[in-house]
Structures are given as C-alpha cells and as structure tokens.
Amino acid sequence: MSQAKLLLDVNQLKVQFDITESNSLFFRKVQKKLTAVNNVSFKLFEGKTLGIVGESGCGKSTLARAIVGLVKATSGNIVWLGNELTELSSKQWQPYRSEIQMIFQDPLASLNPRMTVGDIISEPLITHSPHLSKKEVIDKVEKMMAKVGLLPNLINRYPHEFSGGQCQRIGIARALILEPKLIICDEPVSALDVSIQAQVVNLLKELQKELSLSLIFIAHDLSVVQHISDSVIVMYLGNIVEMGLCENVFKHTTHPYTQALMSAVPIPDPNLERNKTIQLLEGELPSPISPPSGCVFRTRCPLADASCAVNPPILAGHEQHKIACIKAEVPQS
C-alpha cells in the first residue's frame, strides 16, 4: 500500500502577540509578549483528519488562523504541498485560498445577513473562478446545497430564516464550493444542540469520504474528536502535551491533563457513568502572558513537584504516541 500524500507540514510554529499593560506603580505602559502557540509541530496527510482539543484559551483557534494566514506566525514553518506559506503576503496567499478553507464556530455570525444563501455560497466562486457564467455558478451552488442536505429551492432565502444546523450546512457548502483539499473546522458544532452536532459531524465524514478531503477538526469535546479523527493533538496553554493516533491517545491516555479531559467525557452505560471517577483540575488556566516556568501544566498537575518548574518537558515517545511530561510513563512502541 502506497503512503498517503503529505499535505501540510507544520514545524516549530510559534505565534506571539504584543500586549500593552499599565504599570500602576510607575504610571507607565509595559510591553509584554503573549505566547498563544508555542513550538507546535505536526504533519497532515491526504484524506486524514487531525483533531485538536483543549479547553478555552489553549491556542487551538490561533493555530488554525495561523495555518490559513489570518494570523502572522512569529517563527516556525507552515509548508503546504512543498510550498512555504509562513512569510506570504495577503496577495501571495490568494492562489492557496481555494485549496484551504475554514468553517467557523458560530454558524449564523459567520454568514452575511444581507446576502442570500445563493450569494453566500457563490461568493468564493465569483472571486476565484470569474470565467464561469451566471448559470454555471447557480448550477454549482444548487448541486452543493443538495450535497450538504439543503433544498436547492431555498437558494434565495436569508440566513435568519434557517436553524443553527442549517446555517452550519450553508457554511460547509461555502467552504466546499471551491473543491478544497483541506478544511479547517474551528469548533463547528459547539454552538449546536447535541442531536444536530451528530448530524453535522456525520455529514463531514460522508463528504470527506466522497470528496477525499483532509480535515483539521478543532473542539473541546473529546468524544466528538474521537468519533471523527484519525489522529489527535491535545493542547494546553499553547503547547502540545500529548499527540498521536486516536486509538493510542484515547485507549492509553498518559498525560495527566488528557486524563482529566477524558474523565469528563460521558459514558453511555449508566452504571459505568455513575461509578466513574472524575479527575477535577484545580485552579484556573494561567495567563499566557506570564505562564509558569518549566512545565506549563505544573500548577494544576497532581504529579508535579519542584523538578517540574525547572525545564519545559519535550515530547517523547514514538511516532504514533507522544507526551510532554517528565512524571508520566513515556509511551513505548
């Protein structure tokens, strides 16, 4: 069996923002650095889904926006099909927009309320394929609407006339209309009811199989990520703390942070759910402006001791399962 084609190669990516704070003692402004993404590396292959999980504020969305060029990377590399994207200007990014698309968290807020569904879905086509006639554009839009489960006769309706799940289907249709190779889904189901979440996730899986798509699926719900992903990255305060194939990370969860997240996932069996032990995380997420020294998770970690404050842990293990923790057992191949 031939190996899948490498689409995206992210290496040591760092994203920092300049923050100005007031110093009340000396009545002056102080410049600080907020590190949203810290030395993140991963590879994504054709037809695969990478899940990225972590609580709010861990850098998931910033990572996604850096990949699509909406946020400038401070250092590191983003390589798409052999092409370096990190230093590209907005104009230089244009040819790649049709290959990498994004679906956003709030389905209604991401759609222009003054545009019809047809105009919203066709807008990328008009920008990237100006040679198409009006009839060809309408035909493509109607076919895409049918593909995502929307009746084509709704083409002249406005976003406010649709439910949240339907609005997300419109967003998916808009992302797919250019036939991209990669779609980055930034918490696409977090604003939806549980039953609608399952419908949207299953739709994405069907479309992925049909269109040979690659996906980056960002969420804070591990059960959703486990259902759709081939591999997973667990992030905490901008750092990767555990990563690998889903079957390894979820069946042999090793990092204390991932274990805490896993313990909060509901179990369908009521007896098991009633008797399970939930590992509560103590304290608040530290500020990314002044993160803890050494291991960023040490202030909330049940295994931490004085040695954890010295040097940041490095990802160790094998290609299918790595963790960043000097106290937990390193996965063996």
Confidence band, pLDDT 50/70/90 cuts, at residue 269: low
- For the segment 277-301, what is each residue's pLDDT rounded down to a tens digit? 667 777 888 988 889 999 999 999 9
Position 122 scores a pLDDT of: 95
Q: Are 258 and 234 in contact, with CB atoms under 8 Å apart? A: yes
Helix (H, G, I), strand (E, B) or coil at 170: helix
* Gap between the Cα atoms of 7 and 151, Å rounded: 33
- Please give the domain boundaries of the chain with CATH numbers for all domains: 6-99+180-261 (3.40.50.300)
Position 106 scores a pLDDT of: 81
Residues 6+ away with beta carbon under 8 Å from 25 = none
Position 1 scores a pLDDT of: 43
Tell me the whole-structure pTM to 2 decimals. 0.90
Identify the DSSP state of 167. Answer: H
Confidence band, pLDDT 50/70/90 cuts, at residue 3: confident
Q: Are 214 and 44 in contact, with CB atoms under 8 Å apart? A: yes
Position 20 scores a pLDDT of: 79
For the cut 70, the answer to whether the pLDDT of residue 305 exceeds it is yes
Count of CB atoms within 10 A of residue 322's CB? 22
Average pLDDT over residues 268-275: 62
How far lies 101's CA from each of 28, 42, 78, 160, in Å?
42, 19, 15, 23
Residue at token pair 């750092």: 239
Q: Are 39 and 239 in contact, with CB atoms under 8 Å apart? A: yes
Helices (H) and strands (E) in the chain, counts: 10, 12
Average pLDDT over residues 157-182: 93
For the cut 60, the answer to whether the pLDDT of residue 197 exceeds it is yes
- For the segment 207-222, what is each residue's pLDDT rounded down to a tens digit? 999 999 999 999 888 8
Position 26 scores a pLDDT of: 60
For the cut 90, the answer to whether the pLDDT of residue 161 exceeds it is yes
Least confident piece of the model among 2-6, 149-153, 229-233: 2-6
Identify the DSSP state of 162. Answer: S
Neighbour order of strands in the sheet with 316-318: 100-103, 182-186, 214-219, 49-53, 231-236, 239-245, 321-323, 316-318
- How confident is the prediction for the chain on average, in pLDDT? 89
